[in-house]
């Protein structure tokens, strides 16, 4: 695209005076006359009327000028976009199903609000899978519950202490002493919350079958069924404003899980990692003040 040629055409169509355009553009008047003729040959119609008072733009000339101005504007917007993308650093950040629901939107909002040039691409998987991918350098970092396996080459910075709730519908309270067959509803079969409640059910010899349901709101619907149990992060329950819920306080069940920010130790001084970590911590500050 010859943007300079387009700008010259716009000048000629706008000013409608070849002698004045010649003064501004450093072209000779005869050269501009040749360009007008070439322009009219290209579109097949006259862009000027020759009158005793001089050149007067035709209706076709006005439409052509508007088109050229639109092309110029879109071209400038295109250049600004690619320049902006060049300045933006892309970050591949992993997140578990729970952490993406709690922190995903606030992270993106904070980045946009503060004009931070980070383009965060979230990958949603289990905490153990994310942990392994950061270790294998398949992604830059991850925000998830603390995984079982700890790699020596990774940092596990504690971001928040989360709690989870074991819940049922308050019209279908479960008597665990009867050891009924439980239907356990979870967002992810491999998350730490699920592992904790599964271990508790096994230790107490309570039979169960597990259903993985990706929608938090759908879990509430399934809780209408007898002997149905769910495990959810406490913050998620606050976000979705659950009602008609019975929460269980189960003995020997530790319902506290650490949420960690995982990244390579050799990238501890990486400004991109530090910037994203700072954004995540800024989201948690109001919650810390409330506590």
Distance, CA of 89 to CA of 232 (rounded, Å): 33
List, in sequence order, the alpha helices (H) in the chain.
Answer: 3-15, 18-25, 29-43, 59-87, 97-99, 105-113, 127-135, 192-203, 216-222, 234-240, 271-290
Domains 90-161+258-290 and 162-256 share a fold: yes
CATH code of the domain made up of 3-86: 1.10.10.10
CA 212 to chain CA centroid, Å, is 24
The pLDDT of residue 67: 93
The one-digit pLDDT tens for each residue of the chain (291 residues) are 588 889 999 999 999 999 999 988 889 999 999 999 999 999 999 999 989 888 999 999 999 999 999 998 888 888 776 665 555 688 999 998 889 988 999 999 999 888 888 889 999 988 889 999 999 999 999 999 988 899 999 999 999 888 999 999 999 999 999 999 999 999 888 788 898 999 999 999 999 999 999 888 899 889 999 999 999 999 888 888 777 899 999 999 989 989 999 999 999 899 899 999 999 998 876 444 433
Distance, CA of 152 to CA of 22 (rounded, Å): 71
Instruction: Give Cα separations from 148 to 129, 131, 145, 223 (angstroms).
Output: 11, 9, 9, 29
The pLDDT of residue 287: 45
CATH code of the domain made up of 162-256: 3.40.190.10
CA 15 to chain CA centroid, Å, is 47
pTM attached to this predicted model? 0.62
Mean pLDDT of all residues belonging to the chain: 89
Helix (H, G, I), strand (E, B) or coil at 86: helix
Residue 55 backbone phi and psi in degrees, to 5: -75, 140
The pLDDT of residue 83: 62
CB atoms within 10 A of CB 6: 16
Token pair listed for 94: 């992993």
The pLDDT of residue 191: 82
Tracing tokens 């501009």 back to the chain, one arrives at 32
Distance, CA of 231 to CA of 126 (rounded, Å): 16
Q: List the chain domain ranges.
A: 3-86, 90-161+258-290, 162-256
Sign of the alpha-carbon torsion through 36, 41, 43, 45: positive
Q: Which fold has domain 90-161+258-290?
A: D-Maltodextrin-Binding Protein; domain 2 (3.40.190)
Angle in degrees, CA 136, 112, 71, rounded to 5: 105
H helices then E strands: how many in the chain? 11, 11
**Burial class of residue 175 in the structure, from the number of CB atoms within 10 Å of its CB (0-12 exposed, 13-18 middle, 19+ buried):** exposed
């Amino acid at each position: 695209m010859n943007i300079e040629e387009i700008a010259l055409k716009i000048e000629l169509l706008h000013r409608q005076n070849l002698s004045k355009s010649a003064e501004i553009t450093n072209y000779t008047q005869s050269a501009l006359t040749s360009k007008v003729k070439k322009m009219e040959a290209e579109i097949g119609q006259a862009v000027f009327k020759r009158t005793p008072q001089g050149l007067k733009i035709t209706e076709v000339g006005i439409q052509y000028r508007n088109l050229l101005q639109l092309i110029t504007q879109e071209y400038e917007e295109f250049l600004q976009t690619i320049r902006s993308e060049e300045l933006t650093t892309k970050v591949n950040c992993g997140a578990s199903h729970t952490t993406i629901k709690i922190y995903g939107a606030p992270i993106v909002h904070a980045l946009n609000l503060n004009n931070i040039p980070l383009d965060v691409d979230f990958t949603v998987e289990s905490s153990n899978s994310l942990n392994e991918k950061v270790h294998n350098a398949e992604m830059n970092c991850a925000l998830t519950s603390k995984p079982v396996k700890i790699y020596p080459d990774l940092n596990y910075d504690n971001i928040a202490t989360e709690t989870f709730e074991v819940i049922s519908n308050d019209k279908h309270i479960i008597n665990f002493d009867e050891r009924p067959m439980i239907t356990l509803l979870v967002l992810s079969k491999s998350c730490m919350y699920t592992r904790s409640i599964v271990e508790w059910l096994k230790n107490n010899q309570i039979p169960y079958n597990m259903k993985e349901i990706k929608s938090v709101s759908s879990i509430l619907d399934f809780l209408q069924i007898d002997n149905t149990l769910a495990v959810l992060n406490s913050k998620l329950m606050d976000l979705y404003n659950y009602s008609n819920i019975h929460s269980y306080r189960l003995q020997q069940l530790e319902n506290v899980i650490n949420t960690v920010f995982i990244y390579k130790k050799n990238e501890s001084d990486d400004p991109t990692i530090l910037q994203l970590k700072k954004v995540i911590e800024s989201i948690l500050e109001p919650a810390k003040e409330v506590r």
